[in-house]
Amino acid sequence: MTVTAERPPAAGSPRHLVGAADFAELGLGALLDRADGLRSQRHAADRERPLIGRQVALLFEKPSLRTRVSFEVAVNALGGHAIALGPDEVGLGRRETAADVARNLSRLVDAVVLRTFAHATLTEMAAASDVPIINALTDDEHPCQALADLLTLRRHFGRLAGLKLAYVGDGNNVAHSLLLGGAVAGLDVRVATPPAYGPDPTIVARAGELASGSGGRITVGTDARSAVADADAVYTDVWASMGREAEADERRDRFASYQVTTDLLVAASPDVVAMHCMPAHRGEEIAAEVLDGPRSVALEQAENRRYVQEALLIALVGEA
């Protein structure tokens, strides 16, 4: 008797979301169009459910509120089943190699959503996986957040190309994905950080290449007010990202002049919106009156995580 595997590897190479540069290949405009449609149909009784019978593993090595909840809601809303796995359950890189985890999960689920530390862990899993791997945050990038940010901007301004987006603060994973995603979208992205806290030069160079093909523009410097001048949106994030909490006191001193305040926004466009991916530290990277004020779109950014991730899941899993 011949015994065959119940779930053979998927035919062909799967598409992954490794970083925000992948928006170009995945079709940024189509993803945002679909996400917008899904948002408008969120309460419809006949809403599409293309993930019926599909299983999605959510493998999270870092804490999460918005990312985990928005992905679980997205999978369930599309008719699929989300399986949440914490760091102690998998022991990624300790109990098993990332490649072995990917190969095993490829036989059991239809996609893997991964939040991890080293970006190399994500790329190792993607190289070994027969199902899509979606980057839910690494130390290098946060592309799902950037995708939600672009949807938020497009819904607010009615367009993306030519918008001026200023990012003020730490040149971290969020900044990296905004540079790359903004470049794909044709934005004028300006990043201002304290000296020695700028974004990775390799990411900046890649963003510049992408911007040259989209009509966008990339500027990186240390002058917050110059970056914010005439900006349509001003974005910030925590000064000490996950894994850098021990540097928090030192960073408060070095980043003090990079707080997004009402005074800083005076230099921006009269219709400027304030953006933050949250969690936020009011009184540090952003003033409470800005985050909680009428110009803030932070909660819309958070809500839009669900819809862009639904669009991603359909594109990578539902239509595969």
Strand ranges across the sheet with 164-168: 217-221, 188-192, 164-168, 233-236, 273-276
Number of continuous H segments (helices) and E segments (strands) in the chain: 14, 9
The question of whether 305 is a catalytic residue gets the answer yes
Residue 58 has φ and ψ, to the nearest 5°, of -110, 105
Integer Rg of the chain from CA: 20
With CA atoms as reference, report the closest residue to 113 among 170, 49, 181, 51: 51
Residue 29 to residue 23: CA distance in whole angstroms: 9
Q: Catalytic residue among 66, 206, 305, 306, which?
A: 305
- Beta-strand relationship, 188-192 and 133-135: unpaired
The question of whether 144 is a catalytic residue gets the answer no
Q: Catalytic residue among 16, 22, 144, 145, which?
A: 145
The single-letter code of the amino acid at 229 is A
The question of whether 277 is a catalytic residue gets the answer yes
Residue 30 to residue 142: CA distance in whole angstroms: 20
171 is written with which tokens? 């040149």
Q: Catalytic residue among 66, 115, 217, 276, which?
A: 115
Cβ atoms of 111 and 134 closer than 8 Å: yes
Q: Catalytic residue among 237, 251, 306, 309, which?
A: 237
Q: Catalytic residue among 139, 140, 277, 306, which?
A: 277
Residue 257 to residue 264: CA distance in whole angstroms: 10
**Helical H runs in 78-236?**
87-90, 98-106, 119-128, 143-157, 173-185, 201-214, 224-228
The question of whether 145 is a catalytic residue gets the answer yes
Q: Catalytic residue among 15, 66, 68, 142, which?
A: 142
28 is written with which tokens? 């940024």
* Beta carbons within 8 Å of 111's beta carbon, 6+ residues apart: 54, 56, 57, 131, 132, 133, 134, 313, 316, 317
- Catalytic positions, written as ranges: 115, 142, 145, 237, 277, 305
